[in-house]
Structure formats: C-alpha cells, structure tokens
Amino acid sequence: MKIDFFKEFDNKFKKTKEANNLETVLQNLSKQVHDRYNKFGIDSYVISSSSSDSKFREMSFVLSTTSGTSYTYHLMRIKLPIDGEFPFRVTAFLNPPTEEFTFENTDYSDFIDWVVNDVIGNVRMRIVTEHLRQMNNTISSWEEEGEID
C-alpha cells in the first residue's frame, strides 16, 4: 500500500482536521441551516474578508430570506487573528440582542458548545419564526413536523 507522506504530515502537524478550522465549523453550520430551513424560505452563508493592513480576518454568519419579505441578518461576526487561530472574538446578535465573547481555547469545543447551546435556539425561534410570520405563513404545519420545541 502506498502511503501519502505529505497528507500524513498535514494531518499530524498542520491540524487539517475539520474541527480545527473555524471557517469549516461555520460552513457546516450554514449548510445545516440551509438543509433544515430552506423549505421555509431561509438560507445562510458565511462571508470572509480581510484588508491588507488589518491584523484580523473577519467572518460573518448571515441568515437571509429566499422568498417573501427580503432581509438579511448578521447573526454573528468573528475577528480572527491573521497570524493564528486564537484568541478569536465573536460578536453575536442573538436574544438578548448583542453579546461579545472571546474564545481562547486551543480547539473549537467551547465555540461549538456555545453554538449548540445559544445560537441554534436563536436561529430556530427568533429568526425563523419571525420570518414565517412576515411571510403570513401558518406555523402549525411546521410545528407538526417537530421543528419548534
């Protein structure tokens, strides 16, 4: 069997595992929001940018509508150091409206825990439900499918 030594090196030393890449974590979250809520007219995407004179890379996790009343909602903005992965600062526009967190861990477990415990509930209840109301859509069929707890 042929061993790909470069791939082995990357896996061991460059931390190419999925959970060690913040953008991948956000992209996976975006894909899951899309898969779950696209039928209700909700989509999501991740924007990434940095300027040549900045010491930070900025990412935004955005919810948007695909039908009905058109709007976009920047659910969170992240400032990530250009020269490393940590610490990164998150500004989240949840409910309550604005919270700021600094994640200093050497992996993304704290961030993922925060997404699971705080962000997902806001996506489901605050943003999606409001959008369905704006679309004059009844929520009863959605509740029957188990989308709202």
In a domain, 119, yes or no: yes
How far apart CA 25 and CA 29 sit, in angstroms, is: 6
In a domain, 30, yes or no: yes
Q: For 119-137, how does the pLDDT look when each residue is reduced to its tens digit (9 = 90+)?
A: 887 777 666 666 666 665 5
Q: Are 20 and 108 in contact (CB under 8 A)?
A: yes
Q: Are 47 and 24 in contact (CB under 8 A)?
A: no
Q: Residue 56 pairs with which residues in a beta bridge?
A: 81
Q: Residue 58 pairs with which residues in a beta bridge?
A: 49, 79
Q: Buried b / exposed e across 114-127, counting CB within 10 Å, b at 16+?
A: bbeeebeebbbebb
In a domain, 124, yes or no: yes
In a domain, 23, yes or no: yes
pLDDT at 144: 46
User: How many domains does the chain fold into?
Assistant: 1
**pLDDT score of 82 more than 60:** yes
**pLDDT score of 96 more than 60:** yes
| 15 vs 51 pLDDT, higher one | 51
In a domain, 149, yes or no: no
What residue numbers bound the domain in which 48 lies? 5-144
Confidence band of 139 (pLDDT split at 50, 70, 90): very low
In a domain, 115, yes or no: yes
**pLDDT score of 142 more than 60:** no
**pLDDT score of 67 more than 60:** yes
In a domain, 122, yes or no: yes
With 0-12 / 13-18 / 19 or more C-beta atoms within 10 angstroms meaning exposed / middle / buried, residue 131 is buried
